[in-house]
Amino acid sequence: MVRRSGPLSGSVNVPGAKNSVLKLMAATLLAEGEYVLTNVPAITDVQKMSETLNALGVTTDWLGPHELHLTNTGNITPEVPFEKFDKMRASLNVLGPLLTHYGSARINWPGGDDFGDRPINLHVEGLQRMGATVDEGLLDIYAHAEQLKGTTIELEIPSVGATENLVTAAVYAKGVTVIDNAAREPEVQDLCNMLVAMGADIEGIGTSRLVVHGVKKGSLRSTRHAVIVDRVQAATYMAAVAVAGGDIMVRGARTEHMEELLNCYARMGVAVTPQRDGVRVTSHERLRAIDFITEPYPGIATDYKPLLVAMLCISRGEGSVTETLFPGRFKYIEEFRRLGASIAIYGNKATVRGVYELIGSEVKVPDIRAGAALVVAGLVASGETTISDIFHIDRGYDDLVGRLSALGADVRRV
């Protein structure tokens, strides 16, 4: 339940990134030993990935609220039991490590947010080019290759998941694997950096050409690694103060990972000042509408889009968002309309005419990021906004309600 709030004040610490930690956890399948991941967000997707890894033979236990200990004893069964594997896109990320290390992998079809069709052809075609046979069955995906071989793979789209799967597969491939048009997202870089700390040989981290020199199977070692700070959770607190007004410190936020987004915020009238340990964000006036396009990194991430739409809903003038990654990622617009937003959709473009005030209502969360954006919108809606299906939010947000409340927002779980 959210009530109109603001101005917000105080500071918030940004937790680690979901889209990094899940892949880092999957990478522990590559080498025996004990791992410690720090800055791990307390989210349900981490719990689900733990269960999947437990079923494969990696044990997990918490050393502290944000410190996860994982042990790969070497006794791995490269087959995911059916019931473990149905709710996350990131579950696909165990495919590369299992296949390259154990010679085969059986996984169930991945889940994840419903943005329409989410194909896996780039994962499959890349692994096939490396010499794997891949059977895409009705219920599961089975991949096999005694020894993967290095090759050059040019991705048609700089897919985050495919880049990650192929990089992890390439670490034990024979020879050199080149991935062209690779995804450059900070979370992909975080995975590559952890793999390098484990002994992998990867060049071009953060660029669109990754070159992986395969090392001897089983030669990687375990490591300790701090999960990268979540740029989308950081953006959420910034959007909250942008709409509700106020002056907050977003601690841990890495401005170099969010440059295009921060430009958007600035163009809309939000003052964003980088500080030594984060970003100060102040907003005192009605926001201005802008037009923006979602793109792969370093462009404006599709995951920020619902937050920007929430901001456009109450801005002066008319703005628009064009979605280039997931054309079906507009389901939540209907929920914003329930709050009185004026939004029209034309294909992959949404046009938003700003209103003075949203109206509290009952809305239902369709996916993680839209859920957080509905909470943000509730901060500037009259009366009460009741938000259901918040389990989506819990998949990716570490105590959103507690953190917003500490900034002075009137938000409660009921």
Q: Do 178 and 138 form a contact (C-beta atoms < 8 A)?
A: no
Q: How big is the site for ligand EPU, counted in residues (CB under 6 A)?
A: 25
| Phi, psi (deg, nearest 5) at residue 201 | -115, 95
User: Is 49 a binder of ligand EPU (CB under 6 A)?
Assistant: no
The yes-or-no answer on residue 389 being catalytic is no
Cβ contacts of 265 within 8 Å, gap of 6 or more? 238, 242, 272, 281
Site string for ligand EPU, 311-330 (x = CB under 6 A): --------------xx----
Q: Which of 408, 405, 362, 365 minimizes the C-alpha distance to 384? A: 362
> Rounded to the nearest whole angstrom, what is the least distance from the CB of residue 287 to ligand EPU in the complex?
23
Q: Which of 87, 398, 401 minimizes the C-alpha distance to 229? A: 398
> Rounded to the nearest whole angstrom, what is the least distance from the CB of residue 412 to ligand EPU in the complex?
24
User: Is 184 a binder of ligand EPU (CB under 6 A)?
Assistant: no
Site string for ligand EPU, 194-223 (x = CB under 6 A): ------------------------------
> Using only C-alpha atoms, what is the Rg of the chain?
21
The smaller minimum CB distance to ligand EPU, of residues 95 and 145, is found at: 95
Is the peptide bond prior to 65 cis by the omega test (within 30 degrees of 0)? no
Q: Which of 366, 374, 300 minimizes the C-alpha distance to 341? A: 374
Query: Given the DSSP bridges, would you call strands 271-275 and 278-283 parallel, antiparallel or unpaired?
Result: antiparallel
Which of 45, 86, 113, 114 is catalytic? The answer is 113
The smaller minimum CB distance to ligand EPU, of residues 24 and 290, is found at: 24
Site string for ligand EPU, 101-140 (x = CB under 6 A): ------------x----xxxxxx-----------------
The footprint of ligand EPU on residues 1-30 (CB under 6 A) is 18-19
282: helix, strand or coil: strand
Cβ of 318: how many Cβ atoms within 10 Å? 15
Of 74-82, 153-161, 199-207, 381-389, the segment contacting ligand EPU by CB under 6 A is: 153-161
User: Is 157 a binder of ligand EPU (CB under 6 A)?
Assistant: yes
User: Is 228 a binder of ligand EPU (CB under 6 A)?
Assistant: no
Contact with ligand EPU (CB under 6 A) among 301, 379, 387, 401: 301
> Rounded to the nearest whole angstrom, what is the least distance from the CB of residue 128 to ligand EPU in the complex?
12
Is the peptide bond prior to 186 cis by the omega test (within 30 degrees of 0)? no
The smaller minimum CB distance to ligand EPU, of residues 18 and 101, is found at: 18
User: Is 368 a binder of ligand EPU (CB under 6 A)?
Assistant: yes
Question: Could you tell me where the beta strands, DSSP code E, fall in 276-316?
Answer: 278-283, 291-293
Q: Identify the sign of the CA torsion 244, 245, 247, 250.
A: positive
> Which residues are near ligand EPU by CB under 6 A?
18-19, 89-90, 113, 118-123, 157, 159-162, 183, 301-303, 325-326, 368-369, 396
The catalytic site residues sit at 113
